[in-house]
Amino acid sequence: MKHLIHKTAAVAALAALATLATGALAQGQWPAKDRAITIVVPFVAGGPTDRVARDLAEAMRKPLGVSVVVDNAGGAGGAIGANKVAKAQPDGYTVLLHHISMATMPTLVRNIPFKVESDFEYLGMVNEVPMTVIGRPTLPANNFRELTTWINQNKAKINLGNAGVGSASHLCGLLLQAALGVDMTAIPYKGTAPAMTDLIGGQIDIMCDQTTNTTAQIETKNVKGFAVTTTKRLTTPALKDLPTLQESGLKDFQVSIWHGLYAPKGTPAAEQARLNAALKVALKDPDFIKKQEGLGAVIFTDNRVEPAEHKKFVASEIQKWAPIIKKAGVYID
Ligand code: ASP
């Protein structure tokens, strides 16, 4: 009898262990070893958002234990890619890397097909990237003062590149035109990578773009760097001599491009937590830090890497930008 009880207890213990193991397996099923996690970039490959995403994908691969791939879904200033993720299966395999447009699109672009505040799960913020005002190498101006003279002489004849209505380059270009009191001709692309090619080739004249895309081009003199959009000058060697727009006389001009990671609404809480944990590991990855800092980016280490703070920050940025955009009189129907 004693023996029997013992046996029954052992069987029960084994059964409990088996249940635990199945439970652990069920929990461990995400991410499945044979499935990659896709980071959707709402701009074409080779541009600044793509640069951040590719470096991040590499750094998140290890903590997630599966491949992390980048899917470029450019167009409509970042709205197409964002919409793709808003409507994607909420299974943890599709995430979105997007920038400040998540906060400016709701004011800049009327009728966007998704709701920034309720169609996504917020997974944490990544970094902040300054912008630069750059020009084609043949432009007859060598500093920001000469650039403003040239802009005033040529106005609407000037082709101002951007990554589409609602993009960061579009916002920066709109603010620049409002601050200078001139209207230039906007030339939209599906990302600033192709716009950069045309700027180098002289097909367009000027552009605002993130340092993650412009640093190397300014350094090699493929384009002319005129100013930075931050309140302080940058320390990156290739950019340290560029004046800020504020010191160049454009009062209150300040725009920095922050990035955050999002999942479709309804992504399971456990997957959200794992993605956030992997993001935090990536943000401490020395290789990721080195690559991003070399391009002028500042990696977030504050509480904005927490999903709740990320969400609060985006909501505050929507409030911050709405009056500025409205005051500049810029929006797209
Ligand atoms: N820099 C672009 C923008 O203006 C986006 C990109 O091509 O990454 O938003």
| pLDDT tens digits, one per residue of 49-86 | 999 999 999 999 999 999 999 999 999 889 999 999 99
Buried b / exposed e over 140-160, threshold 16 CB at 10 Å, is: ebeebeebbebbeeeeeebbb
For residue 36, which amino acid is it?
A
Q: What is the pLDDT of residues 223-249, one digit of tens each?
A: 999 999 999 999 999 999 999 999 999
Residue closest via CA to ligand 1's atom 3 equals 168
Closest residue by CA, ligand 1 atom 6? 191
**What is the C-alpha to C-alpha distance for residues 164 and 171, in angstroms, rounded to an integer?**
10
Q: How far is 321 from 166, CA to CA, in rounded Å?
A: 12
Q: For position 165, what pLDDT does the model report?
A: 84
270 and 298, same domain (yes or no): yes
CB of 132 within 6 A of ligand 1: the answer is no
d(C-alpha 244, C-alpha 133), whole Å? 10
Range(s) of the domain holding residue 266: 2-128+257-328
Residue 114 and residue 17 share a domain: yes
Mutate to test the pocket of ligand 1, among 40, 209, 211 (most ligand atoms within 8 A of CB): 209
What would the DSSP string read from start to end of 264-275? Answer: ETT--HHHHHHH
- Higher pLDDT among residues 207 and 28, named by residue: 207
Do 143 and 39 lie in one domain? The reply is no
d(CA 239, CA 125): 25
Same domain, yes or no: 83 and 158: no
- State if residue 210 touches ligand 1 by the CB under 6 angstroms criterion: yes
258: CA distance to ligand 1 center in Å? Answer: 12
Could you read off the pLDDT of 12-39 as tens digits, one per residue?
A: 444 444 433 333 344 558 999 999 999 9
Q: What is the CATH number of the domain that holds 124?
A: 3.40.190.150
Residue nearest to atom 5 of ligand 1 (CA): 191
Does residue 167 have its Cβ closer than 6 Å to ligand 1? yes
Nearest residue to 194 via CA among 161, 169, 166 = 161
pTM of the predicted model as reported, rounded to 2 decimal places? 0.88
Look at residue 198 and tell me if it is in a domain: yes
